[in-house]
Amino acid sequence: MKLTVYNTKTRQKEAFEPIDAENVRMYVCGPTVYNRVHIGNARPVVVFDLLYRVLNVLYPKVTYARNITDIDDKIMNTSRETGESIESITTRYADAYADDMAQLNAKTPDIIPFATQHLPEMIDLVERLIARGHAYESEQHVLFDVRSMANYGELSNRSLDDMLAGARVEVADYKRDAGDFVLWKPSADDEPGWDSPWGRGRPGWHLECSAMIEKHLGKHIDIHGGGRDLIFPHHENELAQSCCGSDDTPFVNYWMHNGYVNIDGEKMSKSLGNFRMVNELLTEWHGEVLRYALLSAQYRSEVNFSFDVLSSAKQSLDSFYRALEQLQDVVTEPMPLEQASVFAALLDDLNTPNALAALHQLVKNLAKADEADRKRIKSDLIASGELLGLFEETPSDWFKGNTDDDQTAKIDALIAERAQAKADKNWARADEIRDELASLDIIIEDSASGTTWRKA
């Protein structure tokens, strides 16, 4: 039972070997907090939450850090446009992000470092890079000298010359080489800034991750994750900074990147205006439906976030919750998570489609199961759910959805009236009430023990 992961750097699946089996360390790039996040931002959160859960089964301790970027030109622009202070914006959206991710059943990382709280560490790293001959000061900027690093481009599998040949790169005149990137840049008086050996300024984009990883997780970590679009330039540059800032450590053993969330077959983008914000989706779909939909494809492939995919995810979850409802009275002992039927699939580079297939097979013959089987099935479902981050609701809450108390009272009254109509064999009235409930998105189910209802 070995975990295998796909490593972007080597472009192949590899057996996972921790640096320190007593403390596995992983870092995932979090959001820039200037807006509500979209479902594409949620994918790495769900994917690496899943990895975190798997690692926690395999190893006694896992330290998971996910940063909050609270210095950025986009934040400054928002502040300029709205008049709201930068601190107010970043605090508000960092909180909103935490709320959204909690609704997707993502566990809170062990460490959530904020960029603004690590300026001394960032400045220190820049000084080390200059001292080691990998960075230079130019017109109040400090730039990383990409030509000083022999294997720059290794992570993203591209050479500097190829990269720059046909690319649309504006070369600032303070750069020695077009590929050099900013470590530190000057701030105008009305812009946020910090005093530094190079004047008042602020860090470049990539710097915070290098500094925070080193501080919280060390110079050499096991796993670094994020969206595919971060491979270049963000992670390539982070790797360059971290490796050149100290001795030539490997920095990260396994680079893992998730594929995009697409809408109508295309990447979400501002120009297409096809963003789907998580909080908006949550008004129509339960967080577990979003999570299930994200897990329905293997994390490295693209996933198209369509109505059909969400609807199918909901149907599947309904059937699992129905199984759990049927098993409500079964008493179980906790099952070790590594015995859950989804576990083996997850060990194979988080093969969630296979994991979900295993879960469906588990429930398939529930009707024919004897007591021992029912006990095993329920234990397995609970353990699998804990691994996948699903089934955190009770079945009754799940089927009730977001129905409030007033609506519930109204529904119950209608069902009572219908029960009387049925007793009177007044089928017309009974069907009329069912239609009325259906118009409220309520589906009713008659059984020998009475009538139950659920939200469509």
Question: Of 144-183, which residues contact RNA (CB under 7 A)?
Answer: 146, 156-159, 162-169, 178-182
Among 43, 66, 215, 224, binds RNA (CB under 7 A): 43
Stretch that binds RNA, among 39-47, 109-117, 119-127, 389-397 (CB under 7 A): 39-47
302 binds RNA (CB under 7 A): yes
Q: Exposure pattern of 78-100 as b/e (b: 16+ CB <10 Å)? A: bbeeeeeebeebbeebbebbeeb
Q: Min. distance of Cβ 296 from RNA in angstroms?
A: 5
Chain residues 228-287 in contact with RNA, contact rule CB under 7 A: 228-233, 237, 258-261, 265-269
Nearest to RNA of 23, 233 (CB atom):
233
Is residue 205 a contact point for RNA (CB under 7 A)?
yes
Shortest approach of RNA to residue 248 CB, angstroms?
Answer: 21
- In angstroms, the CA 215 to CA 40 distance is 28
328 binds RNA (CB under 7 A): no
Around 406, how many Cα atoms within 13 Å sit in the side-chain half-sphere? 0
Closer to RNA by Cβ: residue 439 or 447: 447
Q: Which is nearer to RNA, 98 or 164 (CB)?
A: 164
Question: How many residues lie near RNA (CB under 7 A)?
Answer: 89
Task: Tell me if 354 contacts RNA by CB under 7 A.
Answer: yes
Please give the Cα distance from 80 to 85 (Å, whole number).
Answer: 9
The full 3-state SS of 18-42, as one line of letters, equals CCCCCCEEEEECCCECCCCCEHHHH
One character per residue 304-323, x = contact with RNA (rule: CB under 7 A): x-x-xx-xx--xx--x--x-
Residues in 368-387 that interact with RNA by CB under 7 A: 368
User: How far apart (Å, rounded) are the C-alpha atoms in residues 168 and 211?
Assistant: 29
Q: Decide: is 32 part of the binding site for RNA (CB under 7 A).
A: yes
Helix (H/G/I), strand (E/B), else coil: 227: strand
Query: Which is nearer to RNA, 32 or 105 (by Cβ)?
Result: 32
Residue from the set 11, 370, 439, 449 that interacts with RNA by CB under 7 A: 11
Residue 365: exposure state from Cβ atoms within 10 A (0-12, 13-18, ≥19) = exposed
Q: Which of residues 395-414 bind RNA (CB under 7 A)?
A: none
Q: How far apart are CA 423 and CA 435, in angstroms?
A: 18
Q: If we measure between CA atoms, which residue out of 306, 342, 232, 300 comes closest to residue 47?
A: 300
Question: Measured from the CB atom, is 20 or 427 closer to RNA?
Answer: 427
- Tell me the CB-side half-sphere exposure of residue 355, using CA atoms within 13 A: 32
| Nearer CB in complex with RNA: 19/297 | 297
Q: Which is nearer to RNA, 118 or 185 (CB)?
A: 185
Of 18 and 86, CB closest to RNA = 86
Closer residue to RNA, CB minimum distance, 306 or 332: 306
Q: How far is the CB of 21 from RNA (least distance, A)?
A: 27
Q: How far is the CB of 25 from RNA (least distance, A)?
A: 19
Query: Whose structure tokens read 């097979």?
Result: 361
| Rounded-to-integer distance, Cα 410 and Cα 363, Å | 34
Rounded alpha-carbon distances, angstroms, from residue 130 to 105, 127, 147, 174: 43, 5, 14, 16
DSSP 58-93: HSS-EEEEE-BB---HHHHHHHHHH---HHHHHHHH
Kindly identify the residues of this chain, within the stretch 74-103, that bind RNA according to CB under 7 A.
74
Q: Do β-strands 12-15 and 181-186 pair in parallel, antiparallel, or remain unpaired?
A: unpaired
Within residues 333-352, the interface with RNA by CB under 7 A covers: 348, 351
- Minimum distance from CB of 22 to RNA (Å)? 29
Q: How far is CA 132 from each of CA 135, 141, 202, rounded to the nearest angstrom? A: 8, 17, 21
